[in-house]
Structure 1
């Protein structure tokens, strides 16, 4: 194997060394520049930091002022919020007060309405009571008027009855006067006439010969007023025919008593006896359908039909 040798020229080596030296110098210069640059950057950074610190120091009062302003704003906001809350609270209280006032007004109005209704009801009750009192007064007045009218009617009836009593008494007095004025001869003649008439007017079969007013077709003679009939006739007012005015007319015996003439339409029953008109008490009464003459000696027996005239 062959060794191959070569020779490097000095110029080339010098150039190479120069190049290396330049490169190293350049590198050193670059490093130095870089260091300078780094120091400059560091200085700049330090300056910036110092500026930042200065700026921070300068900004700190501003920050404090800003914080103070922010605190003031916060306090103002809080104060505004508090004020707003107070206003809201006042508004709520006012609204509640208004509601309470409204409720109170409604309650007062309801109480007034209830009071008015109660007053109206009371007024209605008073009006009703007044109407009832007025009606009661009218009823009392009517009753008083009716009572007064009844009293007047009673007084008039009593007066009328008194007048009838006086009339009957006068008639009786007149009859008695007439009887006393008659002469004994006239009385004797009348008594004889009565005996003859009454003997002819008796009946031995009275049940067949007797006819009541219904069988006769109804009573058609004069009717005695009810007051007179109750006051002067009936079973409590008896008399005897023998002493009364007497006549025989149209085939029927007649006698006068109390201002009226009584015509005996029926024959008298034979069990009365021949002298009943002289010895027996008789009375006049209205029974059923007409007037009848009854003998008190025979209570419960039918009466004989009689007709009345003035």
Structure 2
């Protein structure tokens, strides 16, 4: 580089430093401006802590339902949600360990055999098997609540059930949609079986409709809510396949029927929280 250009570059750096823009200059350890910066940083940290912002991913423990800078629930709200969900999941598992499900299965199976409803009997046995496989998966899984984004994601939807208003996030929404979809698929099978048997239309007279818990593991929703959405889907799937008119669903490119998006949205009836 020519001498003139070197001198010009040194002059430019010096001018930048004099204006306070110092990407090229390092202050000495004794520079009083370093002490002023440290004091200012300490004051800012105290202000953040006093306002509950904290320094962690979830914010200070004093934060309740407020969101932190990452749009997540505060630590207290997350812990409370995990505690409530864990208790509900434990109740669900304990109930299904000691309930009379085997007696239900035996009663339905005996009734179907007496009525010579062979197709419906095969379908019910297949539903029992799916339930048992599901229970084995749930029991063997080591569930980590803190890795599940449902427990730190704020609510974004409002819905009504049983005359009360509830809130949920997109993960709760997905489970509600799953309940309807699973119910619709089970209803298709049950309705087709009754039609094959030449039996009268009666979607309520099905163990799957009464149980209505396939796909549920105690998380995100109360069991009665999951049962409700499952049965709503079941009724429509049953009617579609029994009547063979498919008012609530359509055949997809894979050859399988699925409930219409508009029907699903009307059943779940979620409202976005602004």
- Regarding TM over 0.5, the answer is no
Kindly indicate which of the two structures has a greater share of residues assigned to helix: 1
Whose Rg is larger?
Answer: 1
TM-score, length basis structure 1: 0.28
**TM-score w.r.t. length of structure 2:** 0.31
Q: Which has the higher contact order (CA 8 A, sep 6+)?
A: 2
